Each structure stands twice: as structure tokens, then as C-alpha cells.
């Protein structure tokens, strides 16, 4: 096995080998547009490219150090860890955070002890360890039958009250989506990425056919909007937004059903709802409302192997974690009071 960095000429081959939108070449271009360093690498066996991945280095303001992030890539091997350590040292990384796109208990042949022996330690997650997945190979009748009765009722109610949904990738629709997104995060008291983040993402992923915008409304009013990702055989639901007005019209519930039908129309196999809580979550959890909304569509709960940090500078790693805890307390406080 040989691992070496890839260049722009490998773009087409790269996307054929990766298995998540956050590993797509275009996502790397988006990250580069935000000023982050992107490293793309290929794994060769007998001179044939058999696997690929990318990771990003975030510059720490006012310091010569970086933090690496390796989201939704392959499960690390000893050779990959060696490569990551070398790249991390070259980029003055304090650590590299890994969140493999590997389902726990199936492909995960490397156990927790082995991870620790290689210098990987359980880390603070960016992605949740769980996600919910809807099987798009089922018929519409089967999907409706599996849903919670209240969810089916709300879909029919929205239809009777004249709520309709459509794909709309126009600048006007995207502007309205951003407005709803920031309204939603402010209402829920959650931290949100900046407008520049979302605009840069849209400018690169939408022309590539990865980002797709679905809206639901009544008359000329957009009441809910989902920004979806289409990659390989899977539809993803990373961002959703809705207005607090006309809640009785159940626009988000109808929109989720239309998103399911949208994925089926594209011939996709799965609809990944982009994260969920652990089994039997507490009703007091801040994301419990989102969990209940997703649960109404009877998805399958999938568990990944989790989050690991490859520590390159142990002393600075401890200091970084202390500062990061304080930073997030401040961000959450701002989100609640803004």
C-alpha cells in the first residue's frame, strides 16, 4: 500500500472513490474558498488507485498552529495514520480529528484499543455518532405505512390546506432559505455558520449538482426550505429551516415527504437525515424536537464508529481543549441571547 497526495488532474477519479459529500472534491474546493488548507491523498495498490480521501487544516488565529479535520473518510489503517502524522507535522497541526464514515460493528475491524495504540483518542464529536436513514427502495405506500400515524395525518393535512413543494435553486429562493435558516437557529438558540459560509458552499456545490434546494409554501409564501445534498446513491438532509408563522399548515412535514419522493425520483437508494440522537434520548435534550420530527418517518438508526483525535502535540492539545470548552460556552450564550 502506498499513499501519496493527489492533484487537480485526479478530480474525476477522486469523486468515484469517496463515499460522502464531505469527501467530495467540490467540498474541498469550498473549504479552500474559506481559506483552509486541503490535502487530498490516494491509496495505491500495485500502482492502481483504489481509495482516496481528503482532510482540512484550520488555521488557529494569531498562532502558527493548525487543527486538522478528516470527516467521513475511510476507516484509518496503520499506513493512513503514518501519513496523517507526517502531513500534520508539516502543517504544524496540534491534532487531527477523524470521524470515519464507517458503521460500527460491520466494517470496523480496528478496535478501540488499537486506535489508542496508534495515537488516536476518543474526541469531542463534530458529527453525531448516530444518523437516521430512510430506505428509498421501498414504495411510497410502504413508506407511508411505516410512518407514525400523526406524521401521515400531518402530511395529508398540509396537502388539504394547499401547501405545495418544489425544487427551486433560484437566487431568490436561496436568499429566502438563508433568511429562514437564521430565523430558525435564532429561535432555537443554536449556533449557526455565517452567511458567507453558506453562500460559498452554495456557489460551489450547487453547480456541481450536489446541493439542491426544496421549498414548501402556501400561495407565494415560503414556509419551509431544505437544502439537500445528492451524492452517489444517497440523499442527505444537512440543513432545514422554517418560519414560526402558519405552523398549523405543517409545511416542514410535507416538505420531508416531498424530499423522500424527490430522492426516489432521482433513483437514489437511501435518505440520510444527517445525524440523530442515541437510542432512547432524554426529552430534555436540546435536539429532542428534531429527533421526534425525524422519528415520525420511521427511519433506521445507524451507529458509526465515532470520533477520534490523532494527537500530534500533546501539550498544546490539552491547552486547546480547555480553550475550546470556554469558546463554545460563549458561542452558545450568544446564540441564546441574540
pLDDT in tens, 58-115: 999 999 999 999 999 998 888 999 999 999 999 999 999 999 999 887 555 566 677 7
Helix 251-265 with 149-160: angle, nearest 10 deg = 100
**pLDDT for res 337:** 59
Domain 130-303 in the same topology as domain 2-127+304-337: yes
Task: Give the pairing type, strands 308-311 and 93-99.
Answer: antiparallel
124 falls in which pLDDT band (50, 70, 90)?
very high
Element (H, E) at 96: strand 93-99
**Residue 332 or residue 288, greater confidence:** 288
Task: Note the CATH number of domain 2-127+304-337.
Answer: 3.40.630.30
Q: What is the pLDDT of residue 53?
A: 97
Is residue 271 a contact partner of residue 226, using CB atoms and an 8 Å limit?
no
Segment 238-271, tens digit of pLDDT: 999 999 888 899 999 999 999 999 999 999 999 9
pLDDT in tens, 164-222: 999 999 999 999 999 999 988 888 777 778 999 999 999 999 999 999 999 999 887 89
For the chain, which residues make up each domain, given as ranges? 2-127+304-337, 130-303
Across 28-37, 214-223, 251-260, 325-334, least confident range: 325-334
Sheet holding 234-242, edge to edge: 164-167, 211-218, 221-231, 234-242, 270-272, 130-135, 300-303
CATH 3.40.630.30 fits 130-303, yes or no: yes
Amino acid at each position: 500500500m502506498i499513499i501519496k497526495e493527489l492533484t487537480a488532474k485526479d478530480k474525476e477519479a477522486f469523486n468515484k472513490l469517496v463515499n460522502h459529500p464531505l469527501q467530495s472534491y467540490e467540498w474541498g474546493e469550498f473549504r479552500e474558498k474559506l481559506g483552509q488548507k486541503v490535502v487530498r491523498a490516494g491509496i495505491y495498490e500495485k500502482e492502481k488507485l483504489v481509495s482516496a480521501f481528503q482532510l482540512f487544516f484550520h488555521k488557529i488565529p494569531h498562532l502558527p498552529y493548525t487543527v486538522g479535520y478528516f470527516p467521513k473518510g475511510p476507516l484509518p489503517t496503520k499506513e493512513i495514520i503514518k501519513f496523517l502524522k507526517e502531513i500534520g507535522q508539516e502543517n504544524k497541526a496540534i491534532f487531527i480529528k477523524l470521524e470515519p464514515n464507517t458503521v460500527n460493528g460491520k466494517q470496523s475491524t480496528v478496535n478501540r484499543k488499537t486506535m489508542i495504540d496508534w495515537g488516536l483518542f476518543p474526541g469531542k464529536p463534530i458529527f453525531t455518532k448516530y444518523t437516521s436513514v430512510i430506505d428509498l427502495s421501498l414504495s411510497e405506500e410502504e413508506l407511508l405505512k411505516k410512518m407514525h400515524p400523526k406524521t401521515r395525518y400531518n402530511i395529508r393535512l398540509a396537502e388539504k390546506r394547499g401547501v405545495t413543494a418544489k425544487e427551486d435553486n433560484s437566487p431568490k429562493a436561496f436568499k429566502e432559505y438563508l433568511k429562514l435558516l437564521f430565523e430558525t437557529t435564532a429561535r432555537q438558540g443554536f449556533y449557526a455558520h455565517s452567511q458567507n459560509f453558506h453562500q460559498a458552499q452554495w456557489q460551489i456545490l450547487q453547480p456541481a449538482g450536489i446541493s439542491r434546494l426544496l421549498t414548501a409554501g402556501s400561495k407565494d409564501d415560503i414556509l419551509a426550505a431544505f437544502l439537500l445534498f445528492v451524492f452517489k446513491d444517497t440523499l442527505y438532509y444537512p440543513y432545514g429551516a422554517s418560519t414560526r408563522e402558519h405552523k398549523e399548515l405543517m409545511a416542514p412535514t410535507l416538505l420531508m415527504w416531498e424530499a423522500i419522493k424527490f430522492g426516489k425520483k432521482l433513483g437514489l437508494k437511501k435518505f440520510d437525515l444527517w445525524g440523530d440522537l442515541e437510542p432512547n434520548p432524554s426529552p430534555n435534550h436540546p435536539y429532542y424536537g428534531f429527533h421526534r420530527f425525524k422519528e415520525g418517518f420511521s427511519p433506521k438508526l445507524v451507529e458509526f464508529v465515532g470520533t477520534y483525535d490523532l494527537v500530534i502535540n500533546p501539550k498544546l492539545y490539552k491547552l486547546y481543549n480547555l480553550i475550546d470548552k470556554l469558546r463554545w460556552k460563549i458561542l452558545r450564550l450568544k446564540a441564546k441571547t441574540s
